Structure 1
Amino acid sequence: MTDLPSQSAAMRQSLIAFVITLIVMGVVLFVPSGTFDWSRAWWFCVAFVVATLIATALLWRVNPEIFVARSRVQPGTKPLDYLFIVLIMGGFFLILPVAALDFRFGGANAPDWVVWLGYLLFAISYAGEAWAQAVNRHFEPGVRIQKDRGQTVIDTGPYAYVRHPGYIFGSLLAVSMALMLGSWLALLPAMLVSAVVVPRTLFEEKTLRAELPGYTEYTQRVRSRWVPGVW
């Protein structure tokens, strides 16, 4: 178990990263768009701030260890997984400037109902990610067997229904971001995220089956990777 001072330090690091993320978000939204007069971008930022602060407060209460686990890509992460991480993070990052350029050149004008759908998916995906992290102290950014942290199979919360809830809600989050900004074009990098997450799911499954005791038995109890009855 990670000690509390380390958790506190990780929380401070998380908040600093949050501030930096906001600054970068402002730059990649408003510089490529060429204007601050973009209401959907401002509301997107507000939603991001509110959702992140709520999720952070809740996770600090129920699973503060997660801030240490997710503070960086931990040593021992499988080498191939670094490629997946770069592609996924790159896809998420590109959503914002692509939407901004779309807006600048007369696009990003999806109807309001599409934007509201985006906000609904955003709320669902943020809540789902927080739920998964709340019950899973091993929810790290990289794929590895966490022998140093006594990793065991997690089968509570959303893991009682699907084996990889983080990937489901992460894919939904990417799509929601493009829709919130009203940009059909920004769905392209969002689709990149989903396209990469599928083989990463299979890669992680192969690793867990081979190296984590009890995981194969877990797959027999919980049959679905993402969507019950589908896959």
Structure 2
Amino acid sequence: MEKKISKGEYTKIRNDVSFRFFLLILILGVLFFLPAGTFCYWQAWIYCGILFIPMLFIFTYLLKNDPRLLERRMKMKERERPQKLFVKLSLLFFVATFVVSGLDYRFKWSHVPFVVVIIADV
């Protein structure tokens, strides 16, 4: 069994997780709302809520109950070259999805009914 975590280590982990969480919010906000040209993009607000609220609960739970696990998960990186390439390509498509979504909203390329948006988010 692992030894108890010190207050200094706990504070470092908490600060690192908090910084990364808020950085993610900022980055995804830019990726959604800048291409959309407005903050009135309600579908993006719903998606962000669905994404960030559970993430906040998970971070809070792990920080309280198993900060070492949270610390290990934050440090995970791929070691093999093909996996690194796969992660980079996945990130590219991940980012493109948000940008295209915002552009779609701005230029009204498609119309998705409210019910379909909600069902897709659930």
Q: Under a length normalisation based on structure 2, what TM-score does the superposition of the two structures give?
A: 0.78
**Are residues 1:10 and 2:13 paired?**
yes
Q: Which has the higher helix share?
A: 2
SS of 1:77 mapped into structure 2: coil
Unaligned runs of 5+ in 1: 121-231
Match of 2:107 in 1: 105
Distance 1:18 1:46, change over 3 A: same
Match of 1:118 in 2: 120
Distance 1:49 1:71, change over 3 A: same
Identity of counterpart residues, as a percentage? 23
Cα deviations across residues 53-76 of structure 1 (Å, max 9, x unaligned)? 1121223344322221122344x8
RMSD (Å), alpha carbons:
2.4
Distance 1:53 1:39, change over 3 A: same
What are the residue-to-residue correspondences of 1:45-194 with 2, within 5 Å? 45-74=48-77, 77-120=79-122
Q: Matched residues in 2 for 1:40 and 1:15: separation? A: 25
Match of 2:28 in 1: 25
Q: Matched residues in 1 for 2:110 and 2:27: separation? A: 20
Cα deviations across residues 11-48 of structure 1 (Å, max 9, x unaligned)? 32121011111111121111111122211122222333
Distance 1:84 1:7, change over 3 A: farther
Unaligned runs of 5+ in 2: none
Q: Matched residues in 2 for 1:7 and 1:95: separation? A: 35
Distance 1:85 1:7, change over 3 A: farther
Contact conserved, 1:99 with 1:108, CA < 8 A, in 2? Answer: no
- Bigger RCO (CA 8 Å, 6+ sep): 2
| Residue identity opposite 1:40 in structure 2 | Q
